Copies of this chain bind each other. A is one copy, B any other.
Amino acid sequence: MKNALHFVGLDVGGTTMKAGVVDDAGQPVAEPVNLPTEPERGQELGLERMCETIRLAVSEAKLTLDQIAAIGVATPGTMDIAAGIILDPPNLKPWRNVQVRKHIEKVFGLPTAFQNDANAAAYGEFWVGAGKDVQSMVLFTLGTGIGGGIIIDDRILEGRHSHGGELGHMKIEMTNPRLCGCDRRGCLEAYASASSVVKRTYEALQTDSKSALHGVCRTKGELTAKDVFTVADQGDELARQLVDQTAFYLAVGTTNMLHSIDPDMVAFAGGMTAAGEPFIQRIRHYVRELAFPVPAEKTEIRYALLGSHAGFIGAAGCGRQAYQRSLEKNKR
């Protein structure tokens, strides 16, 4: 145990940062810890808070820092992954040009990886989650927005300009393209994210008088994507249509991955996965309609497994890769 390898993964979100220690097989050795990000308090405090969260995770794992082999940090974009820098992320305002990797590396004196949060989550699922037995995987993370990550042969497709796997912003509609959160039009995210489901629902309710969603709306004051899925499960026709359309949009996104990346597996993560088996079956159904027969039949389409732990586990996995690279380098 004393000589076993351990890695810390830190997943920085707009509200919370979460860190945890995993072993060389990607298994968390303790529950992850969370601290508030408070980006509005500035990036100096942000960097300090990252270090604090990492230390707390190590202590939670009943380890000391000299037992940690490497660290991985994942943050939302925009970023320069290769340079290890946060650029100007909308979720971390007013941070700007933050030298994350350099700082963490200096403070802890350990090999440090820096990664996009959606890429890290995809890598976590690939390493020890839904994709642990496959060679290549595409992950869609369905939340307020849609994130994505592409892993091929243990390698994250980061892209030349750190925009690899920005799958929420592939264009799927030209005639009547919806406005996306990115201020451009026709993106998958504008159709199939949780917030888009809600938006489409309010639109649909304007020309409907029978749906049970009206009642939910009156009682709760507002709707969530979860409400739409729940009411659909109860047999409401409008809600079922909205859920079915969402499955179709995600099938379009999936098909575009089948016809470009052609991975072993496409997995879905995020809150919407609570919709369960019927929803993923509808996605599979539409993929069979849209895609070429061989990838449509052979690509595994399923839900992710690690929930909100995927990010820190994947970040730790990126740290593990940085550790392995440092060994290679020392050999030469």
From residue A105, how far is it (CB to closest CB) to chain B in Å?
Answer: 24
A270-310 interface code vs B (CB 8 A; 1 in, 0 out): 00000000000000000001111011001100000000000
Inside 8 A of A248's CB, which chain B residues have their CB?
A: 174
Contact, CB under 8 Å: B171 / A292:
no
A172's contact among B152, B171, B289, B298, by CB below 8 Å, is which? B171
Q: Does A30 contact B (CB under 8 A)?
A: no
Inside 8 A of A325's CB, which chain B residues have their CB?
A: none
**Known contacts being A169-B292, A292-B163, is A260 close to B260, with CB within 8 Å?**
yes
The A interface, classified by DSSP as helix, strand, loop or mixed, is loop
Contact, CB under 8 Å: A259 / B161:
no
Q: Does A160 contact B (CB under 8 A)?
A: yes
Residue of B whose beta carbon sits closest to that of A182: B292
A64-85 interface code vs B (CB 8 A; 1 in, 0 out): 0000000000000010000000
A170's contact among B161, B186, B259, by CB below 8 Å, is which? B259
Q: Does A38 contact B (CB under 8 A)?
A: no
Q: Does A230 contact B (CB under 8 A)?
A: no
From residue A247, how far is it (CB to closest CB) to chain B in Å?
Answer: 13
Inside 8 A of A244's CB, which chain B residues have their CB?
A: none
**Known contacts being A292-B182, A294-B78, is A256 close to B160, with CB within 8 Å?**
no
A173's contact among B169, B174, B261, B262, by CB below 8 Å, is which? B174
From residue A20, how far is it (CB to closest CB) to chain B in Å?
Answer: 29
**Known contacts being A161-B298, A171-B172, is A261 close to B264, with CB within 8 Å?**
no
Q: Does A175 contact B (CB under 8 A)?
A: yes
Q: Does A41 contact B (CB under 8 A)?
A: no
Q: Does A246 contact B (CB under 8 A)?
A: no
Contact, CB under 8 Å: B171 / A256:
yes
From residue A307, how far is it (CB to closest CB) to chain B in Å?
Answer: 25
Q: Does A104 contact B (CB under 8 A)?
A: no
List which A215-239 residues lie within 8 A (CB) of chain B: none
From residue A174, how far is it (CB to closest CB) to chain B in Å?
Answer: 5
Complex Cα distance A150/B17, Å? Answer: 36
Contact, CB under 8 Å: B294 / A163:
yes
Residue of B whose beta carbon sits closest to that of A252: B171
Query: Ordered nearest first, which 10 A-B pairs have the shortest CB separation?
Result: A159-B262, A163-B262, A175-B175, A166-B259, A164-B262, A170-B256, A169-B259, A163-B295, A161-B295, A160-B264
